[in-house]
Structure 1
Amino acid sequence: MSKDQPWVDASLNPFRNRLAGTAIVMSIASTGFLILVAWRSPGDGGWRLDETTYAVLTSLLSTVISIGILSLIWEYFLRRSYARSLHHYLSLKSSLVATGLTEVSDTNEEQIDLHTELGRASRIRCIARNPIDWNLRHLNAVMKAAQSREVHVEIVVPNPDGLHLAAVASSLGLGEQDLANNISTAIDTIKTRWQQANVVASNSTIQIATLDNPLYDATVVDDLAVIELTVSTNHRPGRSGLAFRFDGQGRVAAWVRSQFDEAKVGPALWAAPPGSRDYFRSQV
């Protein structure tokens, strides 16, 4: 029996065998009776059926034959196709459940909305290859959360002095200097917003670290994880990318969270409150 097609071996399905055998016997028997009825159709000669009996018997036997033929077609053709589709669907659903994948979207269309999750989060970490874009989408929600309660935030950006900045910029469709300027502007914006937000009372912390060659964008909000992928090089602005959202304790969400702990980040470019410990890595 095929491992991937357990429906192929009919001998393992006695009900199906009995049903098919019954359909064959009924079809053969009905065909024989129909021939006999046709032989004794109304007309001149010896013993003949009257017209009413003939009509009833031919209709009944024709129906039985049709049911038998349809049953055979279903069992030997349609059921196999249906079983294959059902098997594929159940396998896909099982994979989705195991990975925790709950949403896939086009980054140029309706992007994955994290506003609600950010608003109630306690731990927020992101790899933002172009932090200006991340600020536009998420910074307001992060600031509101940090003002209302204790929230710990880590933002990892490309190293503006790193050897791979040009490659990262190319993958974003930017020039090297443009990306460096974006990083500087984004950091200044985060500093200003954090200082204006007056989050001292909430005991919230934030740090901005660098990574030499971030390959994708990622955001982790407590147990939720989002990965955004575009082409690896020579990205054209406006070209589609894909974003994947993974919830809960699935293995993919856990893998995304582990990327932050295992990443070889450089010293923090900025942190608040000044001199605060690295909240995330001190927990590892």
Structure 2
Amino acid sequence: MGHEGFDKPFSDLKTSSRWLAAVVILLSIIGFFAIAHWAPLAPGATSTDFHFGSNTYQALQQLLGAIISIGLISILYEAFLRRTYGRDLRRYLRLKSSMVASGIQDVVPAEQVEWQNVLSDAADVRIILRDPGAWLPANQPWLLASARKRELRLTIAVPDEAGPNFDLVAESCGQKPDELRSNIQAAVSHLTRRWNSEVKDLKKGTNFRVVTYRSLPTYDLVVADEVVVVSIGKAQAEGPIGQQLAFVFDTSPGGGSYPAAWLMDQLKPLDSANSIWESKVK
């Protein structure tokens, strides 16, 4: 996106302002020489020509001096400060256009994402988690709240315990493979228990599905209708996942397309992925 339409009048404005300031300074200097011709007479001197009184002459000198000072400041501003301001403004406009194009809504620590707002009214939720142990039990209430209000299609992808990259996924989470395996089993078990206890209150047609993936994701991804949340963290050798950074995107009409569209493409393999648990309200 270019800014030629903005740059030209801005440049013209700078040029005209500088010329105006220069003309004012020149006229003020000429004025200094002009009023000197009618300077007050020395004490005791007499003349038939017109001369300013002492107070008037000093006032005119101060006025012309102030005009020259203002003119010089104006030229310095036009030459240096306005150039910096214009550069910053153009940078801001480029940044704003990029943000609008991407549809980014927020960048926050992952634990500050307002998952209730993201999930509790969604009708189609697709999730890729490296370690579902903490996230899934904590956010099941919002998923079930949505399913009580409308038909909800939920797909959750977790690492394939028999997959070729499982150990690497565990390592990216700072865990041993057995720890991650235990977390996955506990999270899925918790989800099935909640489903069985609340299925009678869920909307007909609601479908919950847990699948596995064999790839090596470097992020956690949640897509709820038109909201995309991707969380990334720094690599670590051991210990639980540290603080992650979450990027929230809007893909609604008029919202962003890239990189949210690229992230959503990562979910396509889930449609044909192997299911380890699935249930539907009939």
| TM-score bin (small chain) | 0.7 to 0.9
Distance 1:49 1:236 in 2: 88
Structure 1 residue corresponding to 2:25, chosen from 24, 27, 41: 27
Q: 1:39 to 1:177 in 2, by over 3 A?
A: farther
* Aligned counterparts, 1:209-248, within 5 A: 209-212=211-214, 213-234=216-237, 236-237=239-240, 239-248=242-251
Aligned partner of residue 220 in structure 1, secondary structure:
strand
Match of 2:146 in 1: 145
AA of the residue aligned to 1:260: L
Q: Secondary structure at the match of 1:73?
A: helix
- Residue by residue, what CA displacement relative to the aligned partner does 1:248-273 show, whole Å, maximum 9, x if unpaired? 33113222222101459641011113
Residue 235 and residue 28 in structure 1: after superposition, are their counterparts in 2 closer, same or farther (change >3 A)? farther
CA distance change for structure 1 residues 203 and 14 in 2, over 3 Å: closer, same or farther? closer
Partner of 1:257: 264
Q: Deviations over 1:61-117 (max 9, x none)?
A: 11211221122112111111111111111111111111010110123xx52112023
Instruction: Give 1:137 deviation, angstroms.
Output: 3.1
Contact 2:128 2:222 in 1 (8 A): yes
SS at match of 1:240: coil
Change (3 A) 1:18 1:4: closer
**Contact 1:102 1:245 (C-alpha < 8 Å) held by counterparts:** yes
**Structural mapping, 1:34-73, within 5 Å:** 34-37=32-35, 41-44=39-42, 48-73=51-76
Amino acid at match of 1:145: S
Tell me the residue number matched to 2:188. 187
RMSD: 2.7
Match of 2:102 among 99, 102, 105: 99
Q: Which residue of 1 is the match for residue 205 of structure 2?
A: 203
* Structure 1 residues 7 and 257, CA gap change in structure 2 (3 angstroms): closer
3-state SS of 1:269 partner: strand
Structure 1 position 240, deviation (Å): 2.8
Per the TM alignment, residue 29 of structure 1 is displaced from its structure 2 partner at its CA by 2.2
Q: Which residue of 2 aligns with 1:74?
A: 77
Moved more, 220-229 or 197-206: 197-206
| Pair 173,179 (structure 1): closer, same or farther in 2 beyond 3 Å | same
Given the alignment of the two structures, is residue 122 of structure 1 paired with residue 120 of structure 2, yes or no?
no
The match for 1:89 is: 92
Aligned-pair distance for 1:4? 8.2
Secondary structure in 2 aligned to 1:219?
strand
Q: How many residues get paired?
A: 270
Any idea what SS the aligned residue of 1:202 has? coil
Residue ranges of structure 1 left out of the alignment (5+ in a row): 277-284
Q: CA deviation at 1:234?
A: 2.3
- Segment drifting more, 221-230 vs 74-83: 74-83
Q: TM-score, normalised by structure 1?
A: 0.85
The 3 A distance-change label for structure 1 pair 4 and 241 is farther
Q: Which runs of 4+ in 1 moved over 6 A?
A: 3-10
